[in-house]
A and B are shown apart, each in its own frame.
Chain A
Amino acid sequence: MSGRSPRYSAWSLLRGRFSGPGFWRPLWSGRQLQKAYDVVVVGAGGHGLATAYHLARDHGIQRIAVLEKRLVGYGNVGRNTTIVRSNYLLPENHYFYEDALRRWETLSRDLNYNVMYSPRGVLDLALSDGEMVSLARRGNAMRLAGIDAELMDRAGVMKFARELVPAGTRRFDIVGGLLQQRSGTVRHDAVAWGYARAASALGVDIIEDCEVTGLVTTGGVATGVETSQGSVAAGRVVFAVAGHTGAIGTMLGVPLPVETHLLQAMVTEPIKPLINSVLIYVHPHGEVYTLQSDRGGVVMGGFLDGFPSYTREGRWSRLEDVVQSAVALLPQIAGLRILRHWAGTNDMTMDGSFIIDRIRYDNVFLNGGWCYGGFKSIPASGAACAQFVATGTAPDLIRAHTLSRFASGHLLDERGGGPFPVRL
């Protein structure tokens, strides 16, 4: 373990206090790119790092590299609104996200890194009877699968979410809600850093500033990748490039059922504790989700910008729409100033569910199309994707999430909206 940070514990904290400078090491060491690897993972975000971590830990694969165009955690793992939940309607999705939620509960211990999992509850609100019916349907589907869900009437919502009570002048009153108590938030940057540190400790090479520009093939088999630091031989290649999955399809000559959209989020100046859970309201013309960060800022997000973009610069009208919806829900926050505002690129698939499958070659894998579920799925995706790559067989949890489901008609259309990621 020399050259790496010691295991975190009360004992190492004490030792660190009395040791000189240099006791604490960088979380992942700056290794050099080697000429050949058993597995090359493209993209050092949550999914890439988690896949590499599980390949090394669960499947004993020795030579693994994670190649990253920019920095660890530069992409969507650092741009989301930190929400984790498993309140999905379709069995193929809710079992998978439930597996992720169970892994979130123990992740800090598994990684020896505090990811600050906070099961503060996610409350979906209904402002009409019709919305109540659809929440009840989703809640029932979850309970049949053994996942916790609690349907609440107005009094229940007001008791659980005190911050909603003073808003007596709300134009549309709250009818009820669907609560998943075990859901909540996880510190997103800590997830990237924790996985990077744990993977690095298992011998994974994490190479930053190394853009993959092409795939090297010989006789219908991929043999490596071309990068900005030279070519690298690889036994297997995994693409986990959230937000640029469509571009990978173009690079490999495989048109994908994916559109790339921007999703914006913003955070206000810090205030005293106000919002105790995660509040979500989805309506036919958009949506808003809001929570309070541990630092006190009110974090808000909403719907997609609505057209393909890689700019990571959100459109003004969406920001306005999110803020208006949030203020309609919580009039108390109307006077707050927004400190930061950003956007991430989302791979939106044509049925709203993700894809983990082989792409074009037998030894090339695609982990993408995460739509809105990229962050909350990281631990389950890493474990399942690693098992698929290591054994060649997709585990049951992701068996339905193939690339061929669009052609065969076995869509996982969570939203029931047809082959469009956005319909407002």
Chain B
Amino acid sequence: MNAVMMRLTCPFCGARELNEFQFHKTAPEPGANPFASVYERVNRTDISQEYWQHVQGCRAWLYVSRNPSTGEVYQVNLLGTQP
């Protein structure tokens, strides 16, 4: 198990060191009202859906789903193309 998250796989640049990426926030629930999407966060310990940006690379916005309790990364998609 990949306990410590070290890399993310950018759809354009491939597997890159985590340092190149910046976390923005967790994705709000679908249909969340404006207050909830600004201030409230989804706090699940088993899965976390997040917005990231490859700031020191291609600067693409990414949609990452991963397990915050183990560090395992399930999927990295370009924002807007997530399932």
Interface residues of A (CB under 8 A from B): 244, 246-247, 249-250, 255-260, 306-311, 313-317, 350, 406-407, 419-420, 422, 424
Question: 15 A-B pairs, CB-CB below 8 angstroms?
Answer: A244-B45, A247-B44, A249-B43, A255-B29, A255-B42, A307-B23, A307-B52, A309-B5, A310-B68, A311-B69, A315-B5, A315-B18, A316-B4, A317-B18, A407-B39
- Asked whether, in the complex, the Cβ of B18 is within 8 Å of the Cβ of A311, the reply is no
Q: How many A-B contacts at CB < 8 Å in the complex? A: 78
- Complex interface: chain B residues within 8 A of A407 (CB): 35, 39
- Asked whether, in the complex, the Cβ of B23 is within 8 Å of the Cβ of A422, the reply is yes
Residue count of chain B within 8 Å CB distance of chain A: 29
Contact with A along B23-47 (1 / 0, CB 8 A): 1011001000001101111111100
- Asked whether, in the complex, the Cβ of A313 is within 8 Å of the Cβ of B71, the reply is yes
Extra contacts, 15 of them, besides A308-B50, A311-B70 (Cβ < 8 A), are: A246-B41, A250-B42, A255-B40, A255-B42, A255-B43, A256-B43, A257-B40, A259-B26, A309-B5, A309-B68, A310-B45, A313-B71, A316-B4, A406-B39, A422-B23
- Asked whether, in the complex, the Cβ of A311 is within 8 Å of the Cβ of B43, the reply is no
- Asked whether, in the complex, the Cβ of B23 is within 8 Å of the Cβ of A306, the reply is yes
Least CB distance, B59 to chain A, in whole angstroms: 16
- Asked whether, in the complex, the Cβ of A311 is within 8 Å of the Cβ of B19, the reply is no
Among A250, A256, A257, the residue within 8 A (CB) of B44 is A250
Known contacts A307-B23, A311-B3: A246-B43 contact under CB 8 Å? yes
Most buried by B among A260, A310, A406, A422: A310
CB of B15 closer than 8 Å to a CB of A:
no
- Asked whether, in the complex, the Cβ of A307 is within 8 Å of the Cβ of B50, the reply is yes
CB of B6 closer than 8 Å to a CB of A:
yes
Least CB distance, B79 to chain A, in whole angstroms: 16
Known contacts A250-B43, A256-B43: A310-B4 contact under CB 8 Å? no
- Complex interface: chain B residues within 8 A of A260 (CB): 43, 68
- Complex interface: chain A residues within 8 A of B41 (CB): 246, 255-259, 350
Interface residues of B (CB under 8 A from A): 3-6, 17-19, 22-23, 25-26, 29, 35-36, 38-45, 48, 50, 52, 68-71
CA distance A315 to B68 in the complex (A): 13
- Asked whether, in the complex, the Cβ of A311 is within 8 Å of the Cβ of B25, the reply is no
Among B6, B17, B68, the residue within 8 A (CB) of A308 is B68
CA distance A405 to B26 in the complex (A): 21
CA distance A144 to B70 in the complex (A): 47
- Asked whether, in the complex, the Cβ of B40 is within 8 Å of the Cβ of A317, the reply is no
- Complex interface: chain A residues within 8 A of B48 (CB): 308
- Asked whether, in the complex, the Cβ of A424 is within 8 Å of the Cβ of B6, the reply is no
- Complex interface: chain A residues within 8 A of B43 (CB): 246-247, 249-250, 255-256, 258-260, 308
- Complex interface: chain A residues within 8 A of B69 (CB): 310-311
- Complex interface: chain A residues within 8 A of B23 (CB): 306-308, 422
- Complex interface: chain B residues within 8 A of A308 (CB): 23, 26, 43, 48, 50, 68
Among A249, A306, A314, the residue within 8 A (CB) of B22 is A306
Least CB distance, B39 to chain A, in whole angstroms: 5
Least CB distance, A239 to chain B, in whole angstroms: 13
Least CB distance, B64 to chain A, in whole angstroms: 9
- Asked whether, in the complex, the Cβ of B45 is within 8 Å of the Cβ of A247, the reply is yes
CA distance A247 to B46 in the complex (A): 10
- Asked whether, in the complex, the Cβ of A317 is within 8 Å of the Cβ of B45, the reply is no
CA distance A316 to B45 in the complex (A): 22
Among A249, A317, A419, A422, the residue within 8 A (CB) of B39 is A419
- Complex interface: chain B residues within 8 A of A250 (CB): 42-45
In the complex, what residue of chain A is closest to B55 when comparing beta carbons? A424
- Complex interface: chain A residues within 8 A of B68 (CB): 260, 308-311
- Complex interface: chain A residues within 8 A of B17 (CB): 317
- Asked whether, in the complex, the Cβ of B71 is within 8 Å of the Cβ of A309, the reply is yes
In the complex, what residue of chain B is closest to A309 when comparing beta carbons? B68
Q: Which 10 A-B pairs have the closest CB atoms?
A: A246-B43, A307-B23, A255-B40, A317-B19, A257-B39, A310-B69, A406-B39, A313-B4, A308-B68, A350-B39
- Complex interface: chain A residues within 8 A of B40 (CB): 255-257
- Complex interface: chain B residues within 8 A of A256 (CB): 40-41, 43
